[in-house]
Structure 1
C-alpha cells in the first residue's frame, strides 16, 4: 500500500520521466482503483532498452512536452517501467476473476478495450498488439512499474502458478515479445535458426527456441561478454565477424560461409534482433531457399533492401511487435513446467532508491556486463 501520506492523500515513491536526461525519483499521488482495475504492490520491474532510449533520446513513446495522450490523458512527467510483476492488494467492484493476495505478471499494453471509444479494425479482429491507439503502462498510460504500486486493468493481469516466483515473472514481458516473434515466424520443432544480436531480446529468443525444439541455433554477436552469454543460454554456435569463434573462420572463411557450412546450406529462420544493415543483409543471405527472415529490431534509421534477393529464392521477410495474451500464457506455462529457465537473464537487482545510478547509468556506461537489471521497489 502507499508508503506515506501528505495532506491526507496517499502517496507512493516512483521514478518519473520529465524530459531527455531528466529522471526524478519522487513521491506521487496514488492512483484510484476503478471498478475494472486492480491495485498491485510491485515486487520487481525490469529496465528495458526502450526505457534507456527514452532517457537518452526521448520523449519517443510518451507524449511530447505540452501534449496529452488523447485516450489515456497522460502527459509529462510519466512514471516509467513496463516489465513488472507484483501482488494484488485491491480489486475493483466489478472484478470477479482476481482476488487480493494473488501474484501476477502484467501485460503493460493498452488498446481500445481500455478506452470508452470505438474499436479499430485490429482490435475487432483480436490483434490488440497493433491497435491504432496503443498505449503502454510506464510510457503513455497512467502509472508504471518503477513505483511502489500501480493500478492496472484486470484484463492485463496473469495469475502466476505457485512455482513461478516474482523475479521470473518480471521477465515474462520480454520473453513474450520473443515468443510472439517466433510464433509469427511459423517456427517448427527440428528447424534451424540464426539470431543476429545477443541482447536481451536475442537471448530471450534463444531461450524459447530451445524450449520449442530447435535443432541448431546460431548466434552472431560482436561483444565477447554477450557471446559468452549466448553460449551459456544454449547456442550451438556463436560467431563474431570481428574475431575467431566457435567455427573455424580461417582462410578468409566468412561468417556467412560458416553458417552455411554448419547448417548444410542455410537456416530455416533468421531473426534480426540488431537492426543494422549488416545484420539484415546477413539474415537474408544466411536463410535457406524458401526460408524466413524475421525482423525483431526497432530501427534507428531506414535500411536498404534488395527485394530480388527474396524473390529469386522465394524467401519471406516478416516482422512483429509486442505480444498477445496467449504469449504471456505460453511463457508462464513454460516457466511453470520447468522447460524455461530464464533467471540467468537477471544480472543485477537494484533498489528503487538507486535506480538512476545503479540501473539506467549502468546500462548506458556498462551495458556489456548486463542482460537484465531488475528494480526492487520495496
Structure 2
C-alpha cells in the first residue's frame, strides 16, 4: 500500500485543501523528513487571504504551505554525511544557489535563485513527509525538542534583525509590534546586552504579554501621532533608542522609528508595509538615521539553536498559544486570523 502524504495545499485565495500527495523521491544530497510541528507565519496568512505576499510573490499554481518546521530524518541520500536516520532537525527553508557572487559573499538570503519553502512556486513543509537538502537541515541537540525546533526559523529572523541594527551591550532598543517576531527581537536584543527594550503596539493584551515576558517599557500608540508617540517613548525610557526594529508591518511604525531613534542610530524594517510608503526620509537623512531592510536571514540557524540549547531563552515556548493537528489546518488558519482568539504563535502538528 502506498504511503499517504497528507499535505495542506493552497489552490487559490481562501481555497486551502488537505490532499494526499506523492512521497517525494530524494536526491543523493537530500534527506526525507517526517514532519512534526510547523508554525504558521504571517506570510502563510497573506497567501491564504490574498493569494500573494509582499506584493511580489504571487500564487499561480497549487502550493503546499509552511516554512517554520522541524522533524525527524527517515531517509538519507547516498552523499549525505552530516545526518543519519533518526536525527531531529530544524529545517532552514531557503536553499540558495551557493554559486553566485552574493552567495559567495555570505549573504545567501539575497540569492536571486533562492528556492524558499512556501514561496511560489516552491512547496512548503506543511506535510507528513518532506524532502530537503541535508545542508539546510540543522541537527537539534538532545536538550532542544521539536517544538523548539519549529521556533528556530522566526528566531533566526530576530537574530538577523538585531545583527542588522547593530544591537550591542548598552543599546536601548525600540521594538514596534508585540507579535511573535517582535517578542523574539526583544529577547535577542536582551541576549545581546541591550540596556533596555521599549515595545509598542495598538493591542493592550499583547503589550501586557510583552511586559510579562521582559519588556522594560510598553506603550500603546493607537491614535497617537508619530512625533508625540516618539516623545512618549523617549520620556518613558529616559533617552532615545539607539535601534528601532519595526515588526508590525505598519508604515506608521517606520515613521515613528525615524522620529524616535537617536541621531546616528538605525531603523530596521522587518515587517512589510505598503509598497511605496510615505515616510520622512529627509528627517532620517538630517539625523543620519540608517534605514536597513531585513529579508529572511543568513547564517543564523546555528546561533538560534545555541541560544535555545544554552537556556538563554527559557520562555520561548510560551509564545505557542495554540496547537492543531494537520487535519485541522484550516481551523488553525482561521484562529490565527481571529483577533478574539488571542493567538500568538500557532503550531500545526503534521504527525497527528
Q: Which category of TM-score, normalised to the shorter sequence, fits these structures?
A: over 0.9
Partners of 1:261 and 1:366 lie apart in 2 by 30
Partners of 2:62 and 2:294 lie apart in 1 by 29
Residues 1:146 and 2:90 are matched in the alignment: no
Equivalent positions of 1:66-77 (< 5 A) are: 76-77=61-62
Residues 1:58 and 2:46 are matched in the alignment: no
What are the ranges of 5 or more consecutive residues in structure 1 without an aligned counterpart? 66-75, 114-118, 245-252
Residues 1:30 and 2:23 are matched in the alignment: yes
How many residues were matched structurally? 346
Of 332, 335, 344, which aligns to 2:318? 344
1:296·1:321 contact (CA, 8 Å) conserved in 2?
yes
1:172·1:331 contact (CA, 8 Å) conserved in 2?
yes
What CA deviation, in whole Å up to 9, does each residue of 1:292-334 have, x standing for no partner? 111111223321233321222222111111111x311101001
2:128·2:350 contact (CA, 8 Å) conserved in 1?
yes
Taking structure 2 as the reference length, the TM-score comes to 0.93
Shift of 1:102: 0.6
Aligned to 2:211: 231
Aligned to 1:250: none
Residues 1:16 and 2:9 are matched in the alignment: yes
1:64/1:371 CA distance change after superposition, 3 Å: closer
Shift of 1:57: 0.4
Residues 1:333 and 2:306 are matched in the alignment: yes
Aligned to 1:248: none
Residues 1:300 and 2:274 are matched in the alignment: yes
Aligned to 1:68: none
2:115·2:122 contact (CA, 8 Å) conserved in 1?
no
Aligned to 2:347: 374
Q: Secondary structure at the match of 1:290?
A: coil
Of 128, 138, 143, which aligns to 2:108? 128
Aligned to 2:336: 363
Shift of 1:254: 3.8
Aligned to 1:161: 141
Shift of 1:243: 8.7
Partners of 1:275 and 1:140 lie apart in 2 by 21
What are the ranges of 5 or more consecutive residues in structure 2 without an aligned counterpart? none
Partners of 1:334 and 1:174 lie apart in 2 by 13
What CA deviation, in whole Å up to 9, does each residue of 1:200-237 have, x standing for no partner? 21111112112222111000111122112211221001
Q: CA RMSD in A?
A: 1.9
Aligned to 2:71: 86
Q: Secondary structure at the match of 1:275?
A: coil
Shift of 1:368: 5.9
